[in-house]
Amino acid sequence: MLSRNILQQCQGQPEQSYEAGDTLLEEGAASDGYLLILISGVVEIVKNGDIPVATVSEPGSPLGEMSLLVRSPHTATARAVTPVRCLKIPDAHAFLHAHPAVLFAIARLLALRLSSATAYLADVKKQIDTADTGSLAMLDELIDALIHQAGHSMDLSKQ
């Protein structure tokens, strides 16, 4: 529902088409200031070149929003699995300032993703805590670091 609202509110923006296999966003590349909103197709999100982390197919789903909002390189590669059509919003910062409902919807989507990731990390940590082995201690420390880093890694003064 949130994604469809985003798509409706972004109508009129330029469209961009991609063929299956095309890269929409490259992990590690700087954001170009555009925000992509999926119209149709299937996009695979991969990390470290080949580790699939998500599949995006819901119309209205934003792509590239994290790097745009925190002004950092893309954290993953977005690759078209099928032919894909997106709205490509130029000067997305200005667009989001002018359309706070879109910004709020994207913020809600990000909050839902963060909630799911936090629940997953908590479950993994619980499994580690109940395991009777010392070999998982390093993984436990890594999860603790990830949980604490999430709140401290953004410099919100660069708005």
Instruction: Tell me what pLDDT residue 123 has.
Output: 81
pLDDT tens per residue, range 46-98? 999 889 999 999 999 999 999 999 999 999 999 999 999 999 999 999 999 99
Residues 6 or more apart whose Cβ sits within 8 Å of residue 5: 60, 101, 105
Instruction: Indicate the domain borders of the chain.
Output: 2-91, 100-150
Instruction: Tell me what pLDDT residue 140 has.
Output: 61
pLDDT tens per residue, range 88-134? 999 999 999 999 999 999 999 899 888 888 888 888 777 777 775 65
Q: Which helix (H) or strand (E) is 87 found in, with range? A: strand 84-89
Predicted confidence band at 155 (pLDDT cuts at 50, 70, 90)?
very low
Instruction: Tell me what pLDDT residue 134 has.
Output: 57
Q: pTM of this prediction?
A: 0.79
Instruction: Tell me what pLDDT residue 150 has.
Output: 52
Whether 157 shows a pLDDT value over 50: the answer reads no
Under DSSP, the state recorded for 41 is S
Looking from the CA of 24 toward its CB, the CA atoms found within 13 Å total 35
3-state secondary structure of 159: coil
Whether 40 shows a pLDDT value over 50: the answer reads yes
Instruction: Tell me what pLDDT residue 22 has.
Output: 98
Q: Which residues sit opposite 43 in a β-bridge?
A: 56, 80
Say which residue the tokens 């991609």 belong to. Answer: 18
Q: Which residues sit opposite 89 in a β-bridge?
A: 35
Looking from the CA of 66 toward its CB, the CA atoms found within 13 Å total 18
* CATH class of the 2-91 domain in this structure: mainly beta
Assess contact for 36 and 50: CB atoms under 8 A. no
